[in-house]
Structure 1
Amino acid sequence: MTEIKTLDELVELTGEPLDQVRCKIQDRIDAHARTLIAHSPFVLLATAAPDGSCDVSPRGDPAGSVLVVDDRTLVLADRPGNKLHDSLRNIVANPHAGLLFVVPGMNETLRVNGRAKLVSDAPFFEDLVVKGKRPKLAVVVEVEQLYMHCAKAFLRSSLWRPETWPDRATLPSMGTVLKGQMGLPQSVPELDAMLEKGSQYQY
């Protein structure tokens, strides 16, 4: 392998971005970004620990659930999960975070970088209630960079084209994966039934 070890080597190989690309980076949430955030039911949250180890966590809620408090502040509810709390632990130790907002059927995505913090109560918590459930925690992000990411990744992957999707029957079920990775005593059908039952309690 030929490893790239310096920024100069990287720039020599890939080149510098055009001025118009640099100019697209904003430091606040404009009207267009508000529209995309309001229509996004799925966002990826990237965080890093102080030692540099990284984590990316998928976050899903009905479109419109991510709150735009003002032109510099976003709020995401933290819903019940596996309680590993990788993202939350990272935020407590290192506030830098990145978000990638996805809108179904749209090939462009919205990227946000900023500083995050955890809060357990605030006036906006009532606006985070979904299906009668109020979150215990929320992630507040102070926007430092915001910009649109081009469509190339989604076009190359054909993500929104169902005819390119694999047959689900050819893929392992979650129960199959857990049985193989963890050696659990339950059978695969038992594990799949437990997971199906658990998925009904989303909030």
Structure 2
Amino acid sequence: MGSVIDSQEALRELIGESSPTTQQKILDRIDDHARNLIAHSPFVLLATSAPDGSCDVSPRGDPAGSVLVLDDRTLVLADRPGNKLVDSFRNIVDNPHAGLLFLVPGMNETLRVNGRATLVSDAPYFDRLVVKGKRPRLAVVVEVEELYMHCAKAFLRSSLWEPETWPERSALPSLGTILRDQLCLAVSVEELDARLNEGSRTKQY
């Protein structure tokens, strides 16, 4: 396995300490810049963990502006129809700690938010979460404890927003191909892909 780092002291000895400026950028509230980025973000990653430490990261996508900022410490994300595994939600019920990573297309910096999450099945602000005429049945309310900007290095290293670096889609298997092979299904890839594409197109909200 190699040289294992198994203590905070060993980690700091290897990596060093963060600068005072880095520490100072961590806020305990949603400032105007964060509000602006959240308003322009159509995609956020929601990280949760169960009491036993098992983790889950779930992608959440909606039109930009769909995540509500209720006040300087409170965010609301609507739930949309999915696979009903509800891994994130089961974790939140047992362990409210959650992390969010907001992305804005074309922007290399990201907004990180850590806080305590609660599941809500109805509230007056649900009317503001309606998209394409569909009102969510569930929302995640996050009380912000930490908020800060994450630098551009990861996106610059990966060239994520540069189309010329992207692989040819035809070089990668379709979801139908993957599921057929993983589940040993006796159905054609074409039929699976058609079903999956239709479901994605018609059951977004």
TM-score under structure 1 normalisation?
0.99
CA distance in 1, matches of 2:118, 2:187: 39
Residue in structure 1 matched with residue 17 of structure 2 by the alignment = 16
Q: What is the aligned length?
A: 203
Q: Match for 1:199: what amino acid?
A: S
CA distance in 2, matches of 1:196, 1:92: 32
Residue in structure 1 matched with residue 170 of structure 2 by the alignment = 169
Q: Match for 1:202: what amino acid?
A: Q
CA distance in 1, matches of 2:187, 2:199: 16
**Over residues 38-79 of structure 1, what are the superposed CA-to-partner deviations in whole Å (9 max), with x where a residue is unaligned?**
000000000000000000000000000000000000000010
Residue in structure 2 matched with residue 84 of structure 1 by the alignment = 85
In structure 2, list runs of 5 or more residues that go unmatched: none
Q: Match for 1:87: what amino acid?
A: S
Q: Secondary structure at the match of 1:99?
A: strand
Residue in structure 1 matched with residue 30 of structure 2 by the alignment = 29
In structure 1, list runs of 5 or more residues that go unmatched: none
Residue in structure 2 matched with residue 157 of structure 1 by the alignment = 158
**Over residues 105-150 of structure 1, what are the superposed CA-to-partner deviations in whole Å (9 max), with x where a residue is unaligned?**
0000000000000000000000000000000000000000000000
RMSD of Structure 2 on Structure 1 (CA): 0.4
Give the percent of matched residue pairs that are identical in Structure 1 and Structure 2: 75
CA distance in 2, matches of 1:85, 1:186: 27
Residue in structure 1 matched with residue 64 of structure 2 by the alignment = 63
Residue in structure 2 matched with residue 198 of structure 1 by the alignment = 199
**Over residues 3-61 of structure 1, what are the superposed CA-to-partner deviations in whole Å (9 max), with x where a residue is unaligned?**
00001100000000000000000000000000000000000000000000000000000
CA positional deviation for 1:186: 1.4
CA distance in 1, matches of 2:188, 2:61: 29
TM-score under structure 2 normalisation?
0.99
CA distance in 1, matches of 2:88, 2:199: 22
Q: Match for 2:183: what amino acid?
A: M
Correspondence 1:94-133 to 2 at 5 A? 94-133=95-134
CA distance in 1, matches of 2:146, 2:26: 6
CA distance in 1, matches of 2:61, 2:185: 28
